[in-house]
Structure 1
Amino acid sequence: MGWSAALGAGLLLVGLAALPPFAGAELRASLMQAFAPVCHQMPGRSFAVGGTPLAVCHRCIGLYAGLPLAAISFPWLRRWEGALDRNARWVLVGAALPLAIDWSGLHLGPWVNTAASQVLTGVVFGGAVGLYFTRALVRLAHRR
């Protein structure tokens, strides 16, 4: 039960973030406004369909995509639940490290990141966060 709620929440976020190019002007504006507090929404750093950008940048769409991927993977990862519990901090830090390195390369030199590196590092971190989010929902569902 809990993993399906996590999957639904993740798919909903990805769907809403990807909807603006396919929505009418009023809904598109509302979606862009809804995601603005959590994403810079720079057009040059966002995927676009027909010239209309998604509601979030490359990295954020990767973060959101990691959530349902983690929920889908959850049944196969349960065997490592004890290790994941004991090492949660390090799992999250380890997942954030590629994202931080990719981001810092752009702002501190010596390289320029790409849409692919932004999406992939977002998926890695979003997947780690999604794993713990899914686990929390599964535990909550079992308490009922």
Structure 2
Amino acid sequence: MQIRQPILYGSILFLAFVVVFVALGGGLFNQSTPWPGQWQHQSFYSLCHQIADRSFWINGQPMAVCSRCIGIYSGFALGWGLLPIVTLLNIKRVTYIKKIVVFMLLFNLLDAAGNFFGLWQNTLVSRTLLGGMLGSSAALIFIGDFFHHN
């Protein structure tokens, strides 16, 4: 197995984990500023609804993103980190992976709609798991761009 663009791959891996670290919010850093004004929350303001009741809390403060978003970001980081291992499994059908991503996106939308219309009550954990599956499957789309067998 050979990495085609090792610096780019490593940079994206590093940045993905930085995003997850920042998304954990000010509670991780023991900030005393009210959470809506913390730089971590401001960083994700236009990307996530940041409803405190839909977020995990650290040290008495909600994360900078909701549970589904932390699942997406951490799932992508984990999926990206596992790309070399998945490559060893010799998965070459990117069209198959794209179908999985679309399925996971639809599954997340269905979960949100079902909760919205009162058909069921999703939880922080269920949102995180579904978001994680979406994020990790999205990372797999790039498998052919960075790795190949010799």
Report the TM-score range of the alignment, normalised by the length of the smaller protein: 0.7 to 0.9
Give 1:107 deviation, angstroms: 1.0
Partner Cα separation in structure 2 for residue 134 and residue 45 of structure 1 = 32
2:105 is matched with which residue? 96
Q: Is the 8 A contact 2:104 2:133 kept in 1?
A: yes
Consecutive unaligned residues in structure 2, runs of 5 or more: 1-5
TM-score by length of 1: 0.83
Q: Which runs of 4+ in 1 moved over 6 A?
A: none
Higher share of residues assigned helix:
1
Tell whether 2:69 aligns with 1:63: no
For residue 133 of structure 1, report the CA deviation from its aligned partner.
4.7
Matches of 2:51 and 2:144, distance apart in 1: 33
The two structures have a TM-score, normalised by structure 2, of: 0.80
Aligned-pair CA distance for 1:100 = 1.8
Mapping for residues 34-45 of structure 1, pairs under 5 Å = 34-45=43-54
Deviation at 1:73, TM superposition (A): 1.6
List gaps (5 residues or longer) in structure 1. Answer: none
1:13 correspondence with 2:19: yes
- Identity of matched residues, %: 29
Mapped pair 1:122 → 2:131: yes
How many correspondences in the alignment? 137
Structure 1 position 26, deviation (Å)? 8.8
Corresponding residue of 1:75: 84
